[in-house]
Amino acid sequence: MTRPRATLRLQLHHDFTFDDALAQLDYFAALGVSHLYLSPITTAQPGSMHGYDTVDYGVVSEERGGEAALRRLANALHARDMGLIVDLVPNHMGVGGAHNAWWLDILEWGRHSAFARHFDVDWHSPDPVLRGKVLMPFLGAQYGDELASGRIALKFDAALARFFVQYGPHVCPICPTDYAALLQLANHADLDALAKSFQGLTTQPDDQARAAAARDALRTFVEREGTAAIDAVLQAHSGVNPVTRERLHRLLERQHFRLAWWRTATDEVNWRRFFDISALAGVRVERHDVFEAVHKLVLRLYADGVIDGLRIDHIDGLADPREYCERLRQRLISLRAHPSYIVVEKILARGETLRDDWPVQGTTGYDFMNDVGALLHDPAGAAPLAQTWTALSGQDASFADVALDARREVLAAQLAAELDHAARALHRIAREQPATRDFTYASVHRVVAQLAMHFPVYRIYPANGLRSAEDNRYFDLALQAAREALPRASLAALDQVDAWLGARAPDSGSGNGAKPSRAAQGAHATQAAQAAQATQAAQTSGHASPSGTTPATASGTSAARHTAQNPPATPLSHALIAQRTALTLFSQLTAPLAAKASEDTALYRYGRLLSRNEVGADPDDFARSAKDFHASNALRQRRFPCALLATATHDHKRGEDARARLAVLSEIAPEWSATLRAWSTLNQPQRRNDTAPSPASSGAVAGPGQWAPGPMAEATLYQTLVGCWPPDLDVGDEARVRELAERVAQWQLKALREAKLRTNWLSPDEAYESDCQAFLLDILAPQRRDGFLQALTAFVARIAPAGAVNTLLQTVLRLTSPGVPDLYQGTELWDFSLVDPDNRRPVDFALRAAALDNGAPAAKLAHWRDAHVKQAVIARLLALRARAPELLREGEYWPLEVRGVQAAHAIAFARRHGDTWAVVIGTRHAAALLDGDLPLVEPARWDDTAVVLPNGCPAVDLHDWLSDAIRNATRHDQDNVLYLRDVLSALPVAVLSNLAPA
C-alpha cells in the first residue's frame, strides 16, 4: 500500500524504538490509520531524541532497533494491510562529535577528501587563516584559553592507528602528512622506521592510499608493542607547559580545520549550516554522487517494499528543490512500478502555494493547520485584542513590523556569515566584467541585506539561473522595499544585483544591468527551462551535477548526454554557473532568515493572541471566513488531493487543543482584556525588582529591564497557562500543579531566549531568567490556590467548553477535508503540549488503547473532559475513510450554504465520489451560544438555522457517523435542508452519509 488514508506520526529514539512501535500496532490498527509515519530512521548522533542530526545515511539507527527491527515492524504493518512512511533529512547532517565519517575525513584530508564536495564548504575563504580549512566552532571559550587549559589534547586511536585532537566530545583527525614528524618525536627505532613510510605524503588521493597502508603497519606495531612509545608523542604535545603547548599549536595550525570559540560561527563559519546551528552542516545533495549516497538506504528499503513513502525534511534548504523532487520521483519509479508517495516539509507564506511543477503529493500539512486555525478565530476580536496588547506591552507594531525588526537583528547577529557568502558570490560576478567591476563588495552587501530582510516568502525557485513569473511576484516586493530603504547611491547596485539574481540571463556583453521587459524575461525563462530539462534528463541518468559544477561522469557517456550536461565552454556558460551559484546562496540565506526571524523570534515577541503564533501561520492573518476555508480546501482538492492534513506536529509551538481553546479568546476579547488586567494587578507582588506602577492599574507601562518578567512576558505567560491547563486539574493537587509549572517553566525559558529581548541563547541573562521562573512558580504556588489559581481555573472552566467545540470541529475538518489526515502521536486525546521538547514527551498508549471502543462519539460527550469523545470521533471518521477511501481523500468538494439566524456559527460542506456522499457540519464561534459546561449548543438556540443540501445529494436516511442517528432533510423553499436543531442535537459536529457503517 503506498497511498495512505491516514497517517500517525511517531517520534523514535532510544526510549521508543521500532519494537516499541510494533507493540502498539494493534491499537494503531484499531484506531484506523493506514500508515505509520516515522521520524528519521538513519543513524543519528548518539542519544538524539529527534533523529534530525544524521551521521550515517547508510545504516538504520541501532539505537532505534536497527534494520532487523525496522523490517519486523514493516512486515507486521503489511500483514495488516498498513504501510510505512519515513522522514528523510537530505539537507544536513550532524557534525562535530566523533561519529560522522564523512565529516571526519574532510577534517583529515581537507579539500582532497573523497567527501570534500559532499558538504557546502567554502575552501576559498577571503580570510587567509581559513583558506583550505574547515572552521570548527565548538570551543566553549576562546582558543588560547582552551589550549592553555589543556582541554585541547592530542590523542591516539590504537584500533585505527590514527592521531587526533579531542575537545570534549569533538574529534578532529590529524592529517597523515604530519605522522612522520610525530612518530620521530618518540625517539624509538621502530617508529623511526615507520615514520619513513609517511614521509613525503601529500593529500592527493594516491597518497591517501599510501597513508592507509602505512597506518596498517603502524597498527601492527601498536598491537605488538603497545602504545608506550606513542604516549611519548602525546606528552610532547601536552598543553601543560608553554613548550609542548606551542608544539601542539603549531601542529593544529597545519591541519585542515581550525578550532574556534563557538561565538565565531556567526561571523566566520565557512560552511553552510542548518539555520544557525553549528552542529548541523548542509549537504550538497544536488550532486549526483551525494544524492546516491544520501538515499542509498531508503532507496533499498523502498525497493524491498519495507517503506512506502517519504517525508522530505526542510526542502527549502536544498539548492534546487524542484530538481531534487524530480530526481527522487524518477529514482522511486525506477524501483517500483506503482506510484510513490512523497510529501515535503514546506512553509507557505500568506497567499503562497506549493509549486505545480514539483512532482510530489503535497506538503506535510502546515498550510492546512493555518487554514483551520484561522477559521476558529472571530475576526471581531482582532482589533480589541491588539489594543489590549498595545496597552500592556507598550508596542503597537503589527506582526509584520515585529518580524522585520527580527530579520534585521537575526541577519546581523546570527546569519552574518551566510549573508557574507551570498554577497561575495555576487561580488565575484561583478569582478568578471569591466562594466561592473567598480561595484564594491560593501555596496553589494548592503543591497543583499535589504533584499533578504524584506523577502516575503522563504525563497524563490529559479530555473537555470532565471526567475519565473511566480518568483517575480515575491522578488519584486522585496525589490521595491529595498529600493525604498536604500540610499539613492545604492540603487544602481540594487538594479545590478536584481539582474544577477535571475532577472535576466547572463551574457558576455557589457553587463550594464539593464533590466529586460517581462516578455523578454519570459523568453529567457523558456530557454532556461529547456536547458534545465536537458540537464535534468542527464541527471536522471546519473551523470549531471545540478550545482553547475563538472562531476565525474561514468564511462561510456554518450556524446549527446555529455553535451546536454556540459554545454560548450563559452563566457555565457561560465556566467550562468556563477549566476546559479549566487541564486542558490541567496535562497539558502532567505529561507533560514525567514525561519529564524519569524518562527524563532517574532512569534515569541508578538502576543496579541498566541493561538495564531504558529509555524506556518501569520498572526496578522488573524481570522478567515468559511468562504476562505472552502476556497483553500477546493484548491487542495484540485492540485494536491493527497497532501497531509496536520493540526499537530513535532515542531508546533503549542498543542492543537491549546490553540483551539485560546481561539475562544477572540470571541470574548473585552472579557479577556479585563481578565488580563485583573491578573496583572493580582500578581504584582510576585514580580521581581518591580519599581514601576502596574500597567493594569494605572495605564503606565514599566520600562524594559525594570521588573521581571516584564509586561510582554507576563501577558504571554497568562495566555500559555490558559491554553495548557488540563480540564481535570484541581488546584488542590499540588503534585500535578507543580508538574505543570515545571513544564511551563521549560517553555518560558525557551520563549524568553527565542524572543531575544532581555536574554537570548548566545548571551543569556541568567538573573532575569531566574526571576521569571520564580515569578511563575510563585503565582502557581499552593498558597495562591484561593487567589490567582482559583481565578485561573475559573476562567479556564468558563471557556473550556467552547474550546472543546473548537477541538471537535478542528478534528472533524482535518478528517474530512481533501487530503490525508495526519495524527501526531498521542493527540487522539487532549493535546495541551507546548513547544519542543514538551510536545515530544512519552505517550501513554496503553491508556489510549484502553479508552478505545466502538461506542458512538455522541454517547461520550457528557464526559468530554476525559477527551474520549475526541478519540471516538477520530476512530469513527477513520472507519468512514476505510469504508470509502476515495470519498474523503479525493472526492469532489462542495461548499454548502448555511441559512438562518445563527448561520455565522456553522460551517458545512459535502464530499462526493460517484454515488457516495458525505455531508460535514460543524459549530464555530460557539462561546456566545453555550449554556452550562457542556460543549453543545442547545437545539433551540439554532432556531431556523439550516444547511442547504446540493442537488443530487440524498435527502433521506442519512446516517450520522458520529451519533448513529438517521437524519432526513426537510423540504423548504424548494430546497432540501437539514435543520441544525436536529442535526447538531447530540454533538457540535456531524458527518452524514448515505453510506452506513458496516
| Mean pLDDT for the stretch of residues 376-383 | 98
Whole-number pLDDT of residue 3: 86
Tens digit of each residue's pLDDT (9 = 90 or more) over 18-39? 999 999 999 999 999 999 999 9
Tens digit of each residue's pLDDT (9 = 90 or more) over 652-670? 999 999 999 999 999 999 9
Whole-number pLDDT of residue 524: 41
Whole-number pLDDT of residue 703: 47
Residue located via cell numbers 514493516:
74
pLDDT: which is higher, 142 or 690: 142
pLDDT: which is higher, 470 or 705: 470
User: For the chain, how long is the longest CA-to-CA vector?
Assistant: 106
Q: Is the bond preceding residue 837 a cis peptide, omega within 30 degrees?
A: yes
Q: Assign 565 a pLDDT band (cuts: 50, 70, 90).
A: very low
| Mean pLDDT for the stretch of residues 510-532 | 42
Whole-number pLDDT of residue 572: 52
Nearest to 223 by CA among 179, 181, 190: 190
| Mean pLDDT for the stretch of residues 960-968 | 97
Q: What is the C-alpha separation between 816 and 341, in angstroms, rounded?
A: 20
Contact at 8 Å (CB) between 609 and 381? yes
Q: Residue 190 pLDDT > 70, yes or no?
A: yes
- Chain-centroid distance of CA 180 in Å reads 47
Q: Residue 518 pLDDT > 50, yes or no?
A: no
Strands 892-895 and 820-824: unpaired
pLDDT: which is higher, 388 or 572: 388
Q: Provide DSSP, 33-47.
A: -SEEEESP-EEESTT
| Mean pLDDT for the stretch of residues 763-770 | 96
Residue at 594: amino acid letter: A
Residue located via cell numbers 486539574:
729
Q: Residue 411 pLDDT > 50, yes or no?
A: yes
| Mean pLDDT for the stretch of residues 643-647 | 98
Residue at 768: amino acid letter: Y
Percent of the chain's residues with pLDDT above 90:
88
- Window from 142-151, 476-485, 697-706 with minimum mean pLDDT: 697-706
Whole-number pLDDT of residue 938: 97
The region that residue 952 occupies, defined by phi over 0 for left and psi between -120 and 50 for alpha, beta otherwise, is: left
Q: Assign 998 a pLDDT band (cuts: 50, 70, 90).
A: confident
Residue located via cell numbers 608544539:
247
Contact at 8 Å (CB) between 663 and 382? no
The region that residue 973 occupies, defined by phi over 0 for left and psi between -120 and 50 for alpha, beta otherwise, is: left
Task: Identify the three-state secondary structure at position 502.
Answer: helix
Percent of the chain's residues with pLDDT above 70:
92
Domain ranges in the chain are 7-91+283-364, 101-274, 372-397+606-796, 399-546+560-603, 844-993
Whole-number pLDDT of residue 701: 38
Whole-number pLDDT of residue 691: 52
CATH architecture of 7-91+283-364: Alpha-Beta Barrel (3.20)
Residue located via cell numbers 563588495:
441
Q: The pTM is what?
A: 0.91
Q: What is the C-alpha separation between 486 and 497, in angstroms, rounded?
A: 13
Angle between helices 189-198 and 228-235 (to 10 degrees): 70
* Main-chain dihedrals φ then ψ at residue 631, nearest 5 degrees: -65, -40
Q: What is the C-alpha separation between 393 and 713, in angstroms, rounded?
A: 9
Whole-number pLDDT of residue 12: 98
Whole-number pLDDT of residue 705: 46
Q: Is 284 exposed, middle or buried (0-12, 13-18, 19+ CB in 10 A)?
A: buried
| Cell reading at 933 | 459546561
Q: Residue 699 pLDDT > 80, yes or no?
A: no
Q: What is the C-alpha separation between 810 and 371, in angstroms, rounded?
A: 10
| Mean pLDDT for the stretch of residues 227-247 | 95
Whole-number pLDDT of residue 556: 32
Q: Which helix (H) or strand (E) holds 445?
A: helix 441-453
Whole-number pLDDT of residue 326: 97
DSSP 8-state code for residue 651: T
101-274: in CATH 3.30.1590.10: yes
Q: Cα separations (Å) of 426 from 256, 355, 466, 501, 961?
A: 27, 27, 15, 8, 60
| Cell reading at 505 | 540571463
| Cell reading at 427 | 561580488
Whole-number pLDDT of residue 555: 30
Q: Residue 563 pLDDT > 90, yes or no?
A: no
Q: Assign 417 a pLDDT band (cuts: 50, 70, 90).
A: very high
Whole-number pLDDT of residue 402: 97
Residue located via cell numbers 423553499:
973
Nearest to 546 by CA among 524, 559, 564, 560: 564
Q: What is the C-alpha separation between 917 and 953, in angstroms, rounded?
A: 7
| Mean pLDDT for the stretch of residues 588-599 | 97
Q: What is the C-alpha separation between 801 and 973, in angstroms, rounded?
A: 35
Average pLDDT of the residues of the chain = 92
User: Per residue, what are the HEC states of 287-342?
Assistant: CHHHHHHHHHHHHHHHHCCCCCEEEECCHHHCCCHHHHHHHHHHHHHHHCCCCCEE
Q: What is the C-alpha separation between 88 and 76, in angstroms, rounded?
A: 22
Q: Residue 532 pLDDT > 60, yes or no?
A: no
Whole-number pLDDT of residue 337: 82
CATH architecture of 844-993: Sandwich (2.60)
Q: Is there a shared CATH topology between the 7-91+283-364 domain and the 844-993 domain? A: no
Q: Residue 698 pLDDT > 80, yes or no?
A: no
Q: What is the C-alpha separation between 890 and 886, in angstroms, rounded?
A: 5
| Mean pLDDT for the stretch of residues 88-95 | 98
Q: Which helix (H) or strand (E) holds 989?
A: strand 989-993
| Mean pLDDT for the stretch of residues 456-466 | 95
Q: Assign 562 a pLDDT band (cuts: 50, 70, 90).
A: very low
Whole-number pLDDT of residue 535: 36
Strands 916-923 and 958-960: unpaired
